[in-house]
Structures are given as C-alpha cells and as structure tokens.
Amino acid sequence: MPSAPVDPVAVRTALERQLALLSMIGDHLRAAVTAPSPLHSADWQGRAADQAAEFVVELQARLRDAENVTDDTVRRVRLQIAMLS
C-alpha cells in the first residue's frame, strides 16, 4: 500500500513552528542557568546553609540538563529543516 504523500511545505512550516517554540525554551533556560540563585542563602547558617548550597547545585544541574536537551532538539530540528532544502 503506498504511503501518504508528504507536503514539504507543510513539514517545513511545522518544523519552523517547533523551532520557534524550542528556541523560546532554550533562551529562558540559558537565562535561568546564569541567573542569581533563587535561594537567598546568605542569611542561612549551619546545616541549612549546606543544604541550600546543595539545592542550588542540584537545581542548576537540572536546568543545565534541560537546556542541553533543548539545544540538542533544536539542532535536530534545524537539521531536518536543512534536509528539506
């Protein structure tokens, strides 16, 4: 059975829409990773200060991971768009 015909214009439009959405996510995550810590830990002391520091490290790792995943996806979408050319 023959597969449904692919409309390259529709695919490009779809990929560009995806690229736009992913780019907004990537921009935000890049800003979030470099933003000041959301924990105002300067006033914290002892064990709480240690936990706050650990939390900030873990949060930055997860934000960076999300940023990396998003950037990888953006690259794959761009590659798909390039292959349509």
Contact positions vs other proteins (CB under 8 A): 7, 10-11, 13-15, 17-18, 21-22, 24-25, 28-29, 32, 38-44, 48, 51, 55, 58-59, 62-63, 65-66, 69-70, 72-73, 76-77, 80
**Three-state DSSP state, 6:** coil
Nearest-approach distance from CB 20 to other proteins, in angstroms: 9
Q: How many CA atoms lie within 13 A of 71 on its CB side?
A: 10
Torsion, Cα 23 28 29 34, to 10 degrees, reads 130
Q: Which is nearer to other proteins, 1 or 9 (CB)?
A: 9
